[in-house]
Amino acid sequence: MAQIREIKKRMVAVRTIQRITKTMQMIATAKFTASLARAKASRPYMERIRELVAEVAARAGDESHPLCLAPAKPAGKELILVIASDRGLCGAYNGHVLRTSLIALKGVKSRNAESVVETIGKKATAFFKFQKIPVVQKHQFGDRPTFEMVEPLAERLMSEYLAGQYDACRVVYMKFVSNSKQVPETMQLLPMRVPAAAKSNTTSDTKSSEALYDFSPNAGELLNELLPRAVKISLFQAVIDAIVSENVMRMIAMKAATDNASGIAKSLHRSYNRARQGRITTELTEIISGAAALE
């Protein structure tokens, strides 16, 4: 009797957990759909801005911009911005990002520089506190970050870099590739790198098209306008990609938890039936034995 009661309690608990994980899966799916739409909407703009910056920089001749150049006087410091989640239950999302951040910190140390850590997300803050690594600033953007929320952070990073406080600024985040593939990545935000593919446009087979470009205003003024915008949109895209990756990995994790709960529930149901059948058999045996004793 005690065994049947215990199995029944476990069945109720497992069904409750299954309902919770199913609900969390549905919420994560809705958030993933919304965040993916926003990421897809902003990505073409980011790619086009970077292409335009590359075109101008490749044809600017001697023109250059401080955001693309290493500091004249090295500061011996590099800033690492780590983007993680505010909540758990999202599979290996935080683990991958935080391990990548430790690799980035080791890279800074190998260059004989001092690392300065900033975080986005409570999980990253808690991790570095556990590792006894000081965090200079903590940022919170929530589940629906906007460009206006990220822009002040990008402006501050650019101003500090131009002031010579850092030799480089890197962002560690989870890059969203597809629904089934998310890759932890360390992106160099500053100094900004011009894509190599764009530089190849200056080869001999495209010289005939170079004459079509006439900068007005000049290339320097264009870079002054385009480069800060490219840095801002790159940081914003990294934040959006991190949100999309978090939601899709939570959706997958909650689906796996729901499926596991369903399997456990079936196993418990079989155990309950066997225990109940054994109890009925025992009671029938006792009744028959009692009736035989009375004869």
pLDDT digits (tens, 9 = 90+) for 112-154: 999 999 999 999 999 999 999 999 999 999 888 899 999 999 9
pLDDT tens, 146-177? 999 999 999 999 999 999 899 999 999 999 98
Residue 4 pLDDT exceeds 60: yes
Nearest Cα to Cα of residue 100 among 125, 82, 77: 82
Q: Are strands 168-178 and 135-139 parallel, antiparallel or unpaired?
A: unpaired
Distance CA 244, CA 143 (A): 10
Structure tokens, 288: 């028959």
* Interval 282-287 mean pLDDT: 78
Whose CA is closest to 230, among 173, 192, 270, 282?
192
Interval 58-82 mean pLDDT: 79
In terms of pTM, does the model score above 0.85?
no
Q: CA dist 241 to 6, 70, 258, Å?
A: 45, 27, 26
Task: Cite the beta strand spans of 154-282 per DSSP E.
Answer: 168-178, 181-190
Query: Does residue 198 carry a pLDDT above 50?
Result: no
What lies within 8 Å, CB to CB, of 36 at 6+ separation is 176, 244, 248
Q: For residue 83, what pLDDT band results from cuts at 50, 70 and 90?
A: very high
Highest mean pLDDT among 50-64, 157-171, 186-200: 157-171
DSSP assignment string, 83-114: E--SS--STTHHHHHHHHHHHHHHHHHHTT-E
CATH superfamily ID and name for 26-198+214-251 = ATP synthase, F1 complex, gamma subunit (3.40.1380.10)
pLDDT of residue 216: 67
- Cα–Cα distance for residue pair 119/134, rounded to 1 Å: 11
What is the sign, positive or negative, of the torsion defined by CA atoms of 218, 224, 226, 230?
Answer: positive
The neighbour count for residue 183, using CB atoms within 10 Å, is 13
